[in-house]
Amino acid sequence: MTQPPIAPHAPRSGLGAEYLDLLKRQGAAPAALIEHVVADDLVTVAYRGRFLASPVFLSAAERRAVAADLLQIHRLLSELPRRLFGGDIEGLARGVGMTGTQADIVRRAATADAPLMPLARSDLYRGADGFKLLELNITSALGGFENAGINRAMLRHPVLAGFVAERNLGYADTFGGIVKTLYAECAAHMDTDGRRPVVALVDWPESFVSYEPRLRVMAALFDGMGIDAVPCHVGQITERGGRLEVAGRAIDVVYRFFLVEEIATPADAAAVEPLLRAFEEGGVGMFSRLDSELYGNKGTLAMLSDERHRSAFTAEERACIDRFLPWTRHVRATTTDRAAQEVALLPYAVEHRADLILKPTLLHGGSGIVPGWTVGPEEWRARLTAAMDGPYVVQERIRPIPEVFPADDGDGTQDLFLNWGVFLTDPQVTGGDGYNGCLVRGSTDPEVGVVSMSGGARVACSFHETGEAVEPS
């Protein structure tokens, strides 16, 4: 598997280069550039002061192109049951590694007369030949929902505020787009005749222990938009008179932060059953539906990428897949390579260890991922052998090209390697082209397998070209 040559630096957009030059001329200290962000309680809960000194910038053309590709991929993923499984949602669920219980749950959650509304956050690397989609997180449990707060806080620094105003740049209100999607998807339950809707922010008991502070941030944001949001976990929801309740309050919508992967035992399924039954009976809205994660599963990207499914897609769709997706395959005895030739996967993957990454299809947050270049040949072979015929994929390594940022000590610049977390919504719901903001994570390590907060990455917001001025807050 031949990798393209790596540019010494990313051709950072003209805006990015101009902004770095402005910072140098103004002598702006990195610490001063983020001091208002660090002081903002709503964003520091999530990121603990780990912010990059510069935002990133997207041209109008880049924003439109990424949004169009993401919308196309989202549509294709949501149509996989029909295109590849004769409409059998459970068949797709089993095909990507879900258990029988999980497959039954997503089947029950799917609503034929209500197509899945786009709501997702991508993981993109910018390689030498453009953006590549590593994963598409299709769920309501999206980290980064508060990222517009970083934009607002950074705009309090006069250098960035002046630059943004002069060039008529803007930023997307990611949380605002999520709320619009919530109203559209759960319209029957959010229309409460003037009463503030009650939305339960429902996590899993184990993860709620650490995630509760973040949910309280979301509840505060909801409060500002006229919605009563109650952070809780699945075990704190009760039934009374055919209605779901939390803390003695009837629930209009279950905002789901728990994941299908967490429903692993009969006891887990029993804990979720009241919520799923209430949804089926129309007593509560669920955002997003449990079947959404079926389409955000890494295994579905492998189905799009697999050469053996080419005939299911049009020429235009195939062009998008080829341009935007890295080579991704299920870990099976045989597969197809880039040249559409059938090969034995194990020797092929062993030979190309430095260019492949092994991923579980169901886990999230980088759990269970093994970059081939970070382990020795024997361990790599053992990991592949253990994953054979299981819920795993191998994916082509995308080497993110370095992006230039201000050095932490204020003296010169440094190279960072970015994961671009572009948010996607339905243009008919939120307006525009579907782009709903971008939160980037940056690492100084060029060999990093996963650019993540747990791996020491720091975050930055994004601004994009627009014809409308944005006023500093």
- Mean pLDDT in the chain? 91
More confident residue, 114 or 423: 423
For the chain, domains (ranges, CATH) are 14-297+400-465 (no CATH), 327-396 (3.30.1490)
What percent of the chain is helix, strand and coil (3-state, nearest 5)? 40, 25, 35
pLDDT exceeds 90 at position 254: yes
Whether residue 9 is predicted with pLDDT greater than 80 in this model: the reply is: no
**Range 412-428 average pLDDT:** 94
pLDDT tier at 466 (50, 70, 90 boundaries)?
A: confident
Whole-number percent of the chain with pLDDT over 70: 93
pLDDT at position 82: 94
> What CA–CA distances, in Å, run from 23 to 35, 51, 54, 386?
15, 17, 9, 51
Dump pLDDT digits (tens) for 148-179.
Answer: 999 999 999 999 999 999 999 999 999 999 99
Please give the share of the chain, as a percent, with pLDDT higher than 90: 78
Cα distances from 181 to residues 46, 113, 177, 409, in angstroms, run 23, 17, 6, 41
The per-residue pLDDT for range 83-111, each reduced to its tens digit, is 999 999 999 999 999 999 999 999 999 87
Whole-model pTM: value is 0.93
Q: Please enumerate in sequence order all residues whose Cβ is within 8 A of that of 91, keeping only pairs 6 or more positions apart, or say none.
A: 81, 85
pLDDT at 446: 79
What was the pLDDT predicted at 456? 79
Q: Is pLDDT above 90 for 186? A: yes
- Would you give the distance in Å from CA 304 to the centre of its chain? 18
Which residues fall within 8 angstroms of residue 4, CB to CB, at 6 or more apart? 127, 128, 129
Inform me whether the pLDDT recorded for 121 exceeds 80.
yes
Give the model's pLDDT for residue 364: 63
Bridging pattern class, strands 342-344 and 328-330 = unpaired
How much is the pLDDT for 7? 42
Label residue 275 by pLDDT band (50, 70, 90). Answer: very high
Q: What is the mean pLDDT of residues 200-212?
A: 95
- Mark residue 44 as left, alpha or beta (left: phi above 0; alpha: psi -120 to 50; beta: remaining): alpha
The reported pLDDT for the residue numbered 469 is 47
Residue 392 in contact with residue 361, Cβ under 8 Å?
Answer: yes
Determine the Cα–Cα distance for residues 18 and 38; give it in Å rounded to an integer.
25
Residue 166 class from Cβ within 10 Å (0-12 exposed, 13-18 middle, 19+ buried)?
exposed
